[in-house]
Structure 1
Amino acid sequence: MTFAALTPDLCTVRDLFAGDTAYSVPVYQRSFAWQAEQIEQLIADVADAQTDGSDGYFLGNLVVTPLAGKRDLSVVDGQQRLTTLYLLLTYLLRTSEHEHPQHTGRLRYESRPRSSETLRRIDGGYPEQSVRATPESELEQGIVRAFNVIEQTVQQKFTASQQAAFLTYLLDSVQVVRVTLPDRTDLNRYFEIMNTRGQQLEQVDIVKARLMATLDEGDRACFAWVWDACADMDSYVQRSIALGDAELRTALFGDTWTWLAPTDFDELHGIHQRLKQAAPGSIRPSGSMTLSQAIDVYAQSAAEAPADPSETDRFRSTIEFPSLLLHVLKVFLSESGESEGALDDKQLIKRFNEVFKQRGPADVRRFCFTLLHCRHSFDTFVLKREHLARYEDDGEWSLQRALKRTSGGRHTLGYAHTFQRGSTDDEAVDGRTQDLIHLQSMLRVTYTSPRIMHWITLVLRHLHSRDAASVTAEELVDLLRDYARGKVSESFFTATEPQGFEVPRIVFTYLDYVLLKEHAVDGFSRDFDFGFRTSIEHFYPQQPDAEQTGSVVSSECLKLLGNLALVSVSANSKFSNSLPRSKAFNFTDTIERQSPKLALMAQITREQGWNDHQIREHHDAMRAMLQADLQ
């Protein structure tokens, strides 16, 4: 197969489903797997492009091949994006009078009856609630959850008129390159080529090369050393910057291997010079460089020895390296506030070009040290996901500092909870570290997109002017609680108090945090884990199950905060349209994993029932609790 034989078409979303084009997902493709984070990000990206006035937004590639003897196109690559677009169109068109392409029925699945049945129900105009009420075994739950995420995201993000404008932009301005492989393509050969081809330069590569191009030989080598270590986001920087070199690690992080010792780039450069003298083969070519030459030098960086798999598989960073660079850039510039697009990784090159086009080597060297300082602070004081055999597949929230362990005269890198006194291997998280984990994980699950994780910038900026060894958990808790309080105040206590799907996620998550920390709620302890919850649950349902009996709630109370809680998509699906008493008694385990506020509502229901009186009373109590906390 030659790439010249490929047939690429630049299609709008309207074009994708024009005519009689239909798409078939082959059985070898994995099931739909996008989670709330990816779906919300796609919607946010398109909405941002629309707000910015962009003529078009490129969504990526869709690779297809003709099906023999049929007019359908088999989806080779891009199923997740295509399915999300299909479901998004379906939801937006339900309440729109927009003339739209006949996309209904144009997405099919080979040998997957549950997936096909799920789309059939959604396509056929069934109320979304009937999909929820169907037994889980009959439907593809990944698609059900995705549709639920789309519903809530759109309702929270757009008014009715904004939805119509967003739909128009989605149909006519969002573009996809549809690449059609020749008939009878050897797909095994195609995947082999795509998986083994040389990787293209990414934005971080271009930024790195442009910054390096301003430096002399010695500074370039030091810059590349620091940059490459900081780019390895899933291991602590103490490991990646001094792989297997105990002496170097001590020079950089002291005898304990915990706190960064150099205070500026010159000290880093001195340490690196000693490193080069010990390993002269690492010296780079000298002389001034163009951008293309800098890219060549960057590409020749010697690969580090592979890390111990038990180390690299243990931790997962909260953000990727491009996002870290944007946080560091804000710290470098001493920027406060949450300017639009400042953390948008699509604008990485543009942001760095704007900042450094008039700056020289001194500023690049200062940025290099700022990067290392922030990366060390990030590792030590910003939570990660930790994966160990004793944890579930998703891992657990972790806030640990790196340190030196010594056994049998051999030094190795180990970890202890960040604010735990001493350096013991105690698995139990100390109280001070746990307090900060709860607060940071609350913010992490609230602001799921890296582009709105401004709280991380806040932490890094605060730490940049502090001696890391003297930082306390209490000062970081106060810093982040004040941040969360500001968000609650500006989004909830407004002239027109939000209701229903308009209540911001931070109101629910911060309420849960306050309840967890300062109030006794049955079934909850310090071990509670803030998980990703994106569905607003009406405890008394909007369309109650007709077969159940119980108190009736008025329309005035239905959308009050007192009747709402934030739950996961799967929990929302389980609850379906059951009445509060059924939820309170039949789903106790689910409730206790979801939300302290939800547990409190269930407790009230079991003791008193759930009607207008209980809703208003609970609403007033939660509102008063927030007001007292904000003062």
Structure 2
Amino acid sequence: MITHSQNTTEPVILLTPKELLDGKEHYLIPMYQRNYAWGNSEIEQLIVDIMDAQIDAKKSNDYKNYYLGTLVVFERPQLSSKRKVFEVIDGQQRFTTLSLLIIYLKNHFKTIGNNYEMSWYLEQNIEFESRPKSSQTLELLLNDNLETYEHIYKDKLNPAIINGYKSISEVMKSKFITPDNESQPSNTTIQEFCDYLFQYVQIARVPVPDETDLNHYFEVMNNRGEQLEKHEIIKARLLSVVEKADENEIALADKRLAKALIHNVWEACANMNKYVQYGFNPTLRFKLFSDNLTLFKPEDFDQLLKIYRESDVAKISLPDNEQHSNCDDNLQNNDAKVLPSLYDILDDNFITPPDPSDTTDKEDDDGETYYSLINFSGFLLHVLRIMINIQSSYQEDIALDDKQLLTQFETYILNPSNLETVGTSNDGHSLQTKDKITPLSQVKTFVYALLKSKFIFDHFIIKRNTQDTKGQWTLNKLVKGEDKKNSYYKNSFENDNNKLVMLQSAFHVSTPTTNYKHWLNAVLYYSFSHYKHDDTGLDGAAYINHLEGLARAFMLRRYLTDEPDDYHQIIYQTLDFNKVSFKQTDDNLSPDKLCIKIKQYLRYGKIRNIFVFNYLDYLLWLEDKNSDFTFTARSSVEHFYPQNKRDDKLFINDKDSEDTLLHSFGNLCLISHSLNSRVSNDMPDVKVKYFLDSGHIDSLKLSRMIDCIKNKKAIWNKEMIQAHEDQMLKIMMQGLNLNSEDTHNE
């Protein structure tokens, strides 16, 4: 367990429920807070989330801390009480619910039949200011006297808290064995649940500085309608690591500057829909990204800090008492200024005030032009995964699930004792490391990796153009004009830009869910490792060659095999994508036999990922150069000749046979879910008329199928299905470098 003493530069303490409620500290719910208001759905969700985390940990035998939420507090001055008293500013609904859950467990373990140790919970440590009904209700519940005295004190009790307790009781009875429920409805026991709850569940307690205007702070937090984002907690903890660092690790002057730099980098990167250059004041912007903004110049954190030190930002005088740990990155003169407080850091609506003396153009404030594929929390995990796999002497498959964000950062940044430094990545490209990895060295390495990755993300990863009514995919870089007053967007690459847009969008629409964007991680990893900090930047020809190799690797090693490699293995352990082959024990298979094998993975019900369709569409686009086609979200695999037709004559005798052409790749196409429900049972000629009348065809494979019968007397029969499949497989085999002169197996 990591804990930090309360002060303005160490804002976050992680507490288990037992540490939070053991009575050593007292929590006060002030009058300006609303009454307890959680209902059945919120309560059940909290318990189920903990259960799911515990069950997952049990299955994998990998128990990691689970972040439950935040508790923002203000420490009241101590008078006569020996215990610290914290005024709860945000998080009281979750805190009260957790108190009710612990009370329930204390009251019911004796009836459940377990001898679980709950004697530590002797008294409630939550008090409701000027609300005696709420405090009285908790007292009765804690002493298990509610049923006895509820009818006597009913006008002096809080019904919302009573209903919350009863909701907890109902949820627990439905999930675990109790005297009222003799079945075992879950994959865990109440004993295991409690062990996990008290050992691995954590709440982040965030104290606000003494000078904070509590009314204003509460108003802002209340208007947000949500708790602190996890990435805000991480930012605060990274700043605290720098503050805690020994003077032997970092000089006091550099410590102050490093904290200001981290704050600036974090805020610049957090807006995923805006190019990162706009996150820095104009003077610093050109020092970091060159005069035309197209080059990322620093090669490690030390160079980044040096540039920051030499910029006008470094001239700010920080207060000696360090009451504020952040630097206003838009100030460009020598005068001391009022710096953002912790409140500012934690408010994701905070915008650093502009410098009145700055006469540079204000185009930075223009609306966001592009829509990102991923949110900031997800992006942080991508950066962490890349950094650790470059840095570590053994491969780490860091999950891209933002539910594990805090856990992953605790493991690899805040407590990196299990990592070994190697200094270079698998392909020989360096990432700043130290002989001995410490939390401070990890923070510095990560902050640099974050800024570099965001620059790469902005310039080399596709985005949606929000100013285009069609929402076209774009791959643009930000360029500053020669006069440094006007910037514009242009293709990131002179050649191959369209190919990169098409292939990346094919990847994206195949796995729109953030947690499974392994292709994005692979592309960021390649770009990070191969980026040159000079006029070269990233070579477009090598980039598209790598992406096409990645697509083949995903197809051959993941989707067209009975023994798929995991994504991490493909991305980080494949030395040369051009040498990836079909995963088959018999290396002497002829192209025709390979084709027969591949056909089986492309049949209806056997398809692992819709990328097999989108990859084929990419290959068809390369062949046709169809400029009007755009990859869109299409997730329904449709039979062109319907599988459910009462008057079916074509497949009446072999509809259910193992090798029926009805379910072959030649009769399948990819369309949107809504369209699938509309035309699913229509015959091919009806579908063709519908698509032609609508003027929109979802995929290039489908377009080829329509071309077979439109404006012709031909009908979609078995011969045509077979011929179409042969043609599509020939193109796919060529794309996979598995060439065959004849893909048709008689």
Q: Is the 8 A contact 1:235 1:311 kept in 2?
A: no
From the superposition, tell whether residues 283 and 380 of structure 1 become closer, same or farther in structure 2 (CA, over 3 Å). Answer: farther
CA contact (8 A) 1:217 1:285 kept: no
What do residues 553-589 of structure 1 show as CA deviations (whole Å, max 9, x unaligned)?
7421221111111111222133231101111233225
Alignment check: 8 A CA contact 1:276 1:283 kept: no
Q: Is 1:412–2:486 an aligned residue pair?
A: yes
Matches of 2:320 and 2:651 in 1, distance apart?
76
Q: Which residue number in structure 1 is paired with residue 401 of structure 2?
A: 344
Which residue is 1:500 aligned to? 604
The secondary structure found in structure 1 opposite 2:442 is helix
1:461 — aligned with what? 525
2:680 counterpart residue number: 576
Moved more, 613-622 or 587-596: 587-596
Distance 2:395 2:603 in 1: 25
Among candidates 241, 245, 250, match of residue 280 of structure 2: 241
> Given that residues 338 and 454 in structure 1 are in contact (C-alpha distance below 8 angstroms), is that contact kept between their aligned partners in structure 2?
no
Would you say the 8 A contact 1:501–1:536 is kept in 2? no
Which position in structure 1 is the counterpart of 2:498? 434
In 2, distance between residues paired with 1:214 and 1:47?
A: 32
* Correspondence for 1:451: 515
Residue by residue over 1:529-568, the C-alpha shift from the partner in whole angstroms, topping out at 9 and shown as x without a partner, is 100111111111121275xx87557421221111111111
What is the CA-CA distance between 1:617 and the residue it aligns to? 2.4
For 1:304, which of 331, 352, 355 is the aligned residue?
A: 352
> Which residue in 1 is equivalent to 2:618?
513
Q: Within the alignment, does 1:280 sit opposite 2:335 as a pair?
A: no
Residue matched to 1:31: none
Of 343, 354, 368, the match for 1:313? 368
Is the Cα–Cα contact under 8 Å of residues 383 and 440 in structure 1 kept in the other structure?
yes
SS across alignment from 1:4: coil
User: Is the partner of 1:342 in helix, strand or coil?
Assistant: coil
Q: Give 2:703's aligned amino acid.
A: A
Tell me the equivalent position of 2:258: 219
User: Are the equivalent residues in 1 in contact too, given 2:398–2:408 (CA < 8 A)?
Assistant: no
Work out the CA distance in 2 between the residues paired with 1:585 and 1:322: 45
Instruction: Report the equivalent of 1:383.
Output: 462
Alignment of 1:153-302 (within 5 A): 196-197=223-224, 199-215=226-242, 216-242=255-281, 245=282, 247-275=283-311, 280=316, 286=322, 298-299=345-346
Q: In 2 relative to 1, CA 509–202 (structure 1 residues): closer, same or farther, beyond 3 Å?
A: same
Partner of 1:368: 447
CA distance, structure 1, for counterparts of residue 640 and residue 68 of structure 2: 37
d(CA) in 2 for partners of 1:509 and 1:338?
A: 30
> Structure 2 CA distance, aligned partners of 1:284 and 1:581?
79
Structure 1 residues 193 and 296, CA gap change in structure 2 (3 angstroms): closer
**Post-superposition shift, 1:364?**
1.5
In the superposition, relative to structure 1, how do residues 605 and 53 fare at CA in structure 2: closer, same or farther (>3 Å)? Answer: farther
Corresponding residue for residue 708 of structure 2: 604
1:619 to 692, 711, 725: 725
Corresponding position of 1:323: 378
> In structure 1, what residue type is equivalent to 2:273?
D
Q: Check 1:611–1:440 CA distance in 2 against 1; reply closer, same or farther (3 A cut).
A: same
Q: Distance in 2 between matches of 1:258 and 1:464?
A: 15
Equivalent runs, 1:537-616 vs 2, <5 Å:
537-544=638-645, 551-552=650-651, 554-555=654-655, 556-588=660-692, 590=694, 592-606=696-710, 607=712, 608-616=714-722
Q: How many angstroms apart in 1 are the aligned matches of 2:222 and 2:668?
A: 46
Report what 2:627 is aligned to. 526
Which amino acid is 1:344 matched to?
A: D
1:629 is aligned to 2:735? yes
Q: Which residue of 2 aligns with 1:403?
A: 479
CA pair 587-232 structure 1, distance change in 2 beyond 3 A: same
Distance 2:55 2:512 in 1: 16
Identify unmatched segments of 5+ residues in structure 1.
Answer: 17-43, 61-166, 173-191, 421-430
**Structure-1 separation of matches of 2:44 and 2:384:** 35
Residues 480 and 487 in structure 2, CA contact (< 8 A), matched pair in contact too: yes
Q: Distance in 1 between matches of 2:256 and 2:550?
A: 43
Corresponding residue SS for 1:502:
coil
CA contact (8 A) 1:550 1:579 kept: no
Q: Using a 3 Å threshold, how does the CA distance of structure 1 residues 380 and 270 change in structure 2: closer, same or farther?
A: same
Within 5 Å, give how 1:455-494 maps onto structure 2. 455-465=519-529, 466-467=531-532, 469-470=535-536, 471-490=538-557, 491-494=559-562
| 2:237 maps to amino acid | R
Match of 2:84 in 1: none
What is the alpha-carbon distance in structure 1 between the residues aligned to residue 502 and residue 58 of structure 2? 35
Contact 1:316 1:386 (C-alpha < 8 Å) held by counterparts:
yes
Q: Partners of 1:538 and 1:479 in 2: how far apart?
A: 33
Closer, same or farther in 2 for the Cα pair 1:315/1:400, shift >3 Å? same
Query: Which letter does structure 1 place at the counterpart of 2:546?
Result: L
DSSP 3-state at the match of 1:566: strand
8 Å CA contact retained: 1:221, 1:283: no
Instruction: State the SS of the aligned residue for 1:235.
Output: coil
Q: 2-side partners of 1:373 and 1:383: how far apart?
A: 17
Deviation at 1:371, TM superposition (A): 1.0
**Cα deviation per residue 1:428-477 (whole Å; 9 max; x = unaligned)?**
xxx62111100100001011111111222222222223316422322121
Q: Which amino acid counterpart does residue 532 of structure 2 have in structure 1? A: D
2: distance between equivalents of 1:558 and 1:50? Answer: 43
* Count of aligned pairs: 451
Whole-Å Cα distance in 1 between the matches of residues 511 and 540 of structure 2? 22
- Report the CA distance shift for 1:338/1:267 in structure 2 as closer, same or farther (over 3 A): closer
Structure 2's unaligned 5+ residue stretches are 1-31, 70-184, 191-218, 243-254, 326-339, 355-361, 418-437, 563-596, 738-746
Over 3 Å counting, the alpha-carbon distance change for 1:288 and 1:253 in structure 2 is closer
Distance 1:49 1:622 in 2: 44
- Provide the identity percentage: 29
Change in Cα spacing, 1:299 to 1:492, as seen in structure 2 (3 Å) is: closer
C-alpha separation in 1, matches of 2:285 and 2:685: 59
* Cα distance in structure 2, aligned partners of 1:539 and 1:500: 12
Q: Tell me, what secondary structure is at the counterpart of 2:633?
A: coil
Using the TM superposition, give the Cα deviation of residue 339 of structure 1 relative to its aligned residue in structure 2, in angstroms: 6.8
Q: CA deviation at 1:373?
A: 0.9
Go from structure 1 to structure 2 and tell me whether the alpha carbon gap of 1:228 and 1:52 turns closer, same or farther (over 3 Å shift). same
Aligned to 1:537, what secondary structure does the other structure show? strand
CA contact (8 A) 1:446 1:509 kept: yes
Give the drift of 1:318.
1.1
Deviation at 1:313, TM superposition (A): 2.9
SS in 2 for 1:536: strand
Distance, in Å, in 2 between the alignment partners of 1:572 and 1:338 is 42
Q: RMSD of the TM alignment (CA)?
A: 4.1
Structure 1 residues 193 and 603 mapped into 2: Cα distance closer, same or farther (>3 Å)? Answer: same
Matching residue of 2:171: none
Structure 1 pair 614–493 and aligned structure 2 pair: CA distance change class (3 A): farther
